[in-house]
Structure 1
Amino acid sequence: MMSEQEALKGSSARNRGGVQRVEGKLRASVERGDYYEAHQMYRTLFFRYMSQSKHAEARELMYNGALLFFSHNQQNSAADLSMLVLESLEKAEAEVEDDTLEHLVKLFSLMDPKSPERVAFVSRALKWSTGGPGKLGNPKLHQLLALTLWKEQNYSESRYHFLHSSDGEGCALMLVEYSASQGYRSEVDMFVAQAVLQFLCLKNKSSASVVFSTYTQKHPSIESGPPFVQPLLNFLWFLLLAVDGGKLTVFTVLCEQYQPSLKRDPMYNEYLDRIGQLFFGVLPSLSHLSPLISHLSSPSLSHLSLSLPPSLLSHPSLPHLSSSLLSSTSTWTE
């Protein structure tokens, strides 16, 4: 007598065989150029499978159908079936798995970059990947999207998705290419500054450190450091060390001493307001940087412990640090 497990396997095999036969007919229809007819048949089968709770079969059929339409440059039909792939994931409450994410990004990569359907698709995919509204999306999905957009040389959107991933190294390498291909030599420090500050605003200290170290090591226009020729890079280096220490007075003095560099982009001080709240205990009501500096910089700086390696305290490329700050006790290791 056939066991229940054997019966289930047999049923699954029959279902798979049925899907393959249907796919064969649909493929033939597309190959003949009967795109509208094939599209409508895909939709009919999707809702039939979904009504029978055959979510996996529906998803596989729509995924393969979308790829088929993309291969025939039928963008609208392909995008529609791609959205049905997402609908099957949503209604099945499917778990987020790497294979699924890779399939979604494959569909994304084939969509017309300028189409509104692509924007709707990625927004819905990110929402599904976190289980609802109000969240930023699965980090792995963000990473895959960032890599895809990087290949398209869509650097600004790639950077956004890298920021919400955990791939600081990938982000840095993309920024090196972005800076080298589209930036001015005088702005090499600004490309990484925005990324470091934004990673910190997202409380991702690890990726902030990785993107800084990788970028400064790999960029052909940056001499090895620290210390660096560019004051802004020195500020970022000090800031990452200060974040580890969590000393508010050190943070305040750094922001004060490096104001000439920080004024290069009006967003820097806004990012630093937020970083002050997250890592240094600054109250939101005191988070405006200029008042904060005037409020906290009155005590003698000789009491600070910036904790710098002794060999760097008198380096000529660190002109923005006051002598009293540089004479503080050093506890960081070489």
Structure 2
Amino acid sequence: MATKHRSNGGGVDRVSKKLQASVERGDYYEAHQMYKTLYFRFMNQNKHAEAIELIYSGASLLLEHNQHVSGADLCILLVEAFDASDAPVNSANIAKVTGLYKQIPADIPEREHFLSAALKWSAKGNPKKGCSHPELHQQVALIFWNEKSYALSRYHFVHSMDGKQCATMLVEFHTTQGYPSEVDMFITQVVFQ
């Protein structure tokens, strides 16, 4: 569970116990506050691995219990922790980001802030300086495709270097939302992007 941490002193242990009690009671507002308190304590102590583990499990728990705004808030802190700790931009961390991202409903404003922060963080791991990591773009493109947000999916596929999936999505995009005479326009838009 998200609330089990190594002993870090009386303050952290006390807050951890409060967090555990809040989760057991279903008091997710208080749990959200406790997650943030522990997160900032760990970060101030340069215990980045513990902060990342805590905030990731907290975001997962809150999102699973439909606490979307609070969960998204913790997701943003996760990316901040990745950035502050120079966490590697690897498949495992990208999976954490995208796994959380797809749990946040599209109408939650923090969702886009989270994605923006994640794309900025991922640029550190891309050999092309200043560009977000293609694997993150690919995973986000698949999420948007699944949500039938074709234009957003297309944008991320363009930056993903996954031409095959992009082409398959474009075929679906055209057949569900275009006219037969517009097939060339769907391809041209991607080329111009």
TM-score range, shorter chain: 0.7 to 0.9
Match of 2:99 in 1: 106
**Larger gyration radius, structure 1 or structure 2:** 1
| Within-5 A mapping of 1:223-242 | none
Q: Which residue of structure 2 aligns with residue 87 of structure 1?
A: 80
1:149 aligned onto 2:144? yes
Aligned residues: 182
Q: Which runs of 5+ in 1 are unaligned?
A: 1-14, 199-334
Alignment partner, residue 181 of structure 1: 176
TM superposition score normalised by structure 2? 0.86
1:96 is aligned to 89
Q: 1:67 to 1:147 in 2, by over 3 A?
A: same
Contact 1:149/1:157 (8 A) holds in 2: yes
CA-to-aligned-CA distance 1:234-258 (integer Å, 9 cap, x gap): xxxxxxxxxxxxxxxxxxxxxxxxx
Instruction: Give the equivalent residue in structure 2 for 1:168.
Output: 163
Which amino acid in the other structure matches residue 129 of structure 1? S
**Aligned-pair CA distance for 1:27:** 5.1
Which residue in 1 is equivalent to 2:47? Answer: 54
SS at match of 2:46: coil
- Say what the alpha-carbon RMSD is for the aligned residues: 2.3
Query: How far apart, CA to CA, are the structure 2 residues paired with 1:72 and 1:18?
Result: 27
Q: Within 2, Cα distance between the matches of 1:139 and 1:115?
A: 25
**TM-score, normalised to structure 1's length?**
0.51
Q: Are positions 1:115 and 2:98 aligned together?
A: no
Whether the 8 Å CA contact 1:79–1:117 is kept in 2: the answer is: yes
Identity score, percent:
52
Q: Within 5 Å, which residues of 2 pair with 1:263-274? A: none
Q: Distance in 2 between matches of 1:25 and 1:186?
A: 62
Kept in 1, the 8 Å contact 2:144–2:153? The answer is: yes
Question: What's the counterpart of residue 121 of structure 2?
Answer: 128
Equivalent residues of 1:27, 1:68 under 8 A apart: no
Equivalent residue, structure 2, for 1:190: 185
Deviation at 1:95, TM superposition (A): 1.7
| 1:29-40 equivalences in 2 (<5 Å) | 29-40=22-33
* Separation in structure 1 between the aligned mates of residue 169 and residue 18 of structure 2, nearest angstrom: 43
Q: Does 1:158 align with 2:153?
A: yes
Structure with larger RCO (C-alpha < 8 A, sep 6+): 2
1:130–1:136: 8 Å Cα contact kept in structure 2?
Answer: yes
